[in-house]
Amino acid sequence: MLWLLFLTLPCLGGSMPMTPDPGSGHELVGIIGGCDVSARKHPWRVSLRFFNMNHGLWQHECGGSLIHPQWVLTAAQCVAPEDLEACSFRVQVGQLRLYDHDQLHKVVKIIRHPNFNYSLSAKGGSDIALLKLAAPVPLSELVSPVTLPSAELQVHPGTMCWVTGWGDIADNSQLAPPYYLQEVTVPIVGNQVCDQQYQESFSHDNDQAIKDDMLCAGSETSGFCQGDFGGPLVCNWNCTWVQVGVVSWGQPCGCSDFPGVYARVTSYVPWIQQYVPLLSRP
């Protein structure tokens, strides 16, 4: 994996560049059918960075969400392989444009879900992980945790929710400078319908493609793409924005027949609560 090219230097200490050279040709891997995000709209959104030794910068690799002033929720695939250390990562909060006056926060602990299968990756389920920051981040209008659901919350098909990210804006089409965070509304798709769509095209046996701990959302004109993994899917519940999903996998970017697949957050609230002092829940 590309991760292995960049492993050693971040853990050795010392000074490193935190913003990219505009001419460095670094790879950014947004949201399909999205629009620029206005300030204060998604104050929980974070960029997960990994140090790229070839370009000398902390490069955006995945999304995530602030669920507590000192904890970030992301996808387990974003912090694979298992032997990657916490010091290999940094987190940027409160930013709409990537690399715009970076103030990166150190990660001191990675907690990957124990059922995540590294050989199956996201399609095996349990694609969820927690990152503990070195210190709580200061909260403001631009930086604030998202609300997590109760384990009993039901998200019904047809519900319109929001997904955000800095990933590709179409298949093999990267988000252009100045790399504004993108947002788009996506409809929830029932697991049975979603599973049937994936089974008909990709499965050669009777195995369930969409597991019970997964959630589907998206349409033929909206969804997520490369670089959005680990980011939040949020829905408005009783006037509160609640994170119901973590961007996990899909085939392929923006394809009309295949909704995006998310880790279903309600399935993991008890696990999260073992480590994170949760704030309010609807």
For residues 49 and 80, what is the distance between their CA atoms, to the nearest angstrom?
13
What SS3 state is found at 106? strand
* Domain count of the fold of the chain: 1
Q: How many helices (H) and strands (E) does the chain have?
A: 2, 13
CA–chain centroid gap for 243, Å, is: 11
Q: Residue 181: what pLDDT? A: 84
- A 10 A CB-CB count for 70 gives 19
Q: What is the pLDDT of residue 266?
A: 97
**Which pLDDT belongs to residue 175?**
64
Identify whether 126 is part of a domain. no
User: Residue 250: its pLDDT value, please?
Assistant: 83
Bridge partners (DSSP) of residue 237 are: 240
Q: Could you tell me if residue 249 is inside a domain?
A: yes
SS3 call for 134: coil
168: containing domain: 160-266
Kindly report the number of other CB atoms within 10 A of residue 119's CB atom. Answer: 5
Examine residue 151 and state whether it is found in any structural domain, yes or no: no
**Residue 206 domain-assigned?**
yes
Neighbouring CB atoms inside 10 A of 51's CB total 23
What is the pLDDT at residue 144? 94
pLDDT at 185: 87
pTM for this structure? 0.84
Residue 239 pLDDT: 83
pLDDT value of residue 14: 39
Residue 41 in domain: no
Show pLDDT as tens, one digit a residue, over the chain (282 residues).
333 333 334 454 433 434 343 333 333 334 444 445 555 678 999 999 999 888 888 999 999 999 999 999 999 999 999 889 999 999 999 998 888 899 999 999 999 999 999 999 999 999 999 999 999 999 998 999 999 999 999 999 999 999 988 876 555 556 667 778 888 889 999 999 999 988 877 655 667 899 999 999 987 655 566 558 999 999 998 888 999 999 999 875 655 668 899 999 999 999 999 999 866 565
Alpha-carbon separation of residue 191 from 92, 121, 151, 198, 213 (angstroms): 33, 19, 17, 10, 10
Q: How far is CA 237 from CA 105, 193, 272, in A?
A: 30, 24, 20
Max alpha carbon distance in the chain (Å)? 53
The domain that contains 243 carries what CATH number? 2.40.10.10
